[in-house]
Amino acid sequence: MFDRMRLGWMFGLATAALLALAPAARAERKLYVVTTLTDLAAIAEAVGGDKVRVESIGKGTEDPHNVATRPSHVVKLNKADLFVRVGMELELWSQPLSDAARNAKILLGGPGYVDVSVGAEILEIPTTKYDRSMGDIHPYGNPHFWLDPLNGKVIAVNIAAGLKRIAPADADYFDQNLKRFCAQVDEKLPGWLKLMAPYKDVKVVTYHRSWPNFAHRFGLNIVNYVEPKPGVPPSPTHIVSLIAHMKAEDVKVIIQEPYFDLKVGKFVAEKTGAKLLVLSPSVGGEEGIRTYFDLFDRDL
């Protein structure tokens, strides 16, 4: 009898303790943020701070147009409080995932849906009719806008707005982190610009159209591309034409993303005497690039 009484007392005490801790556990639950790309994840972590748990579907080593998707990504989106996308039809691969997730709040128009392109400076917006024969042309402009640090601030503003929609009680916290992030951009940018000042108007060739915003901000002059059309691998005929153009224009720099075939870039560099710079356009693209600021510190 004594054992039964003691067991009952211990059970009651444990139950009371769990009930007492339950509100605290609920209060400490972190918002689950899923992003399409690592760059967005890095900024979401900066803005969300201790209030969020962030995961990216894409890896920094992947082409953002062609991320390898898995069923586990659907599960992540089903549990997500916030889904953050670049938008502008960059991540067409993400739409089937979000549709299958059965999570209405992260769909377009839902409180947990964030398109970070809103308010960003977008380049290369088509002004004429286009079709698929022209390659992977984006109808709303070039989606690689995160490679301009000032657009990084816009991305942070959009993410903060999304977090405040789903967790209004923490609005002040998110605003403080947003202010800190933007101040860090403002602090770092003059140094980056000074670093690139000697290369103002230097002619470069890039593999893909990943770098217009980067070139615009830091004063580079992109004169041609290794791809004959966006998303179309170069043919031998195009390579011959590109080499001739680079020689005529005295282009001495090729910028290439690490996930494209480096043999082509090396061949063109060898034939033209240009230097091949393999630069990561995303956080996590190489070891040591862990934050949005690391990305520019490394690429510049």
**Full set of structural domains in the chain with CATH:** 28-193 (3.40.50.1980), 196-299 (3.40.50.1980)
**What pLDDT does residue 130 have?**
67
Q: What is the pTM of this model?
A: 0.89
Tens-digit pLDDT profile for the chain (300 aa)?
Answer: 434 444 344 334 444 444 454 554 455 789 999 999 999 999 999 999 999 999 999 999 999 999 999 999 999 999 999 999 999 999 999 999 999 999 999 999 999 999 999 999 999 998 877 665 555 677 889 999 999 999 999 999 999 999 999 999 999 999 999 999 999 999 999 999 999 999 999 999 999 999 999 999 999 999 999 999 998 999 999 999 999 999 999 999 999 999 999 999 999 999 999 999 999 999 999 999 999 999 999 999
| Distances from the Cα of 123 to the Cα of 131, 133, 145, 209, angstroms | 19, 21, 8, 11
Which of 282, 41, 292 is CA-nearest to residue 189?
292
**What pLDDT does residue 11 have?**
39
Summary count for the chain: helices (H), strands (E): 10, 8
Neighbours of 160 (CB within 10 A): 25
**What pLDDT does residue 129 have?**
74
Which of 211, 209, 259, 265 is CA-nearest to residue 62?
259
**What pLDDT does residue 127 have?**
84
Neighbours of 63 (CB within 10 A): 17
Token pair for 72: 């586990």
As a whole number of angstroms, the distance between CA 31 and CA 81 comes to 6
| Bridge partners of residue 35, in order along the sequence | 56, 84
As a whole number of angstroms, the distance between CA 62 and CA 225 comes to 20
Alpha-helix residue ranges (DSSP H) falling in the chain = 2-28, 38-48, 71-79, 94-100, 149-166, 171-196, 212-218, 236-249, 262-272, 292-299
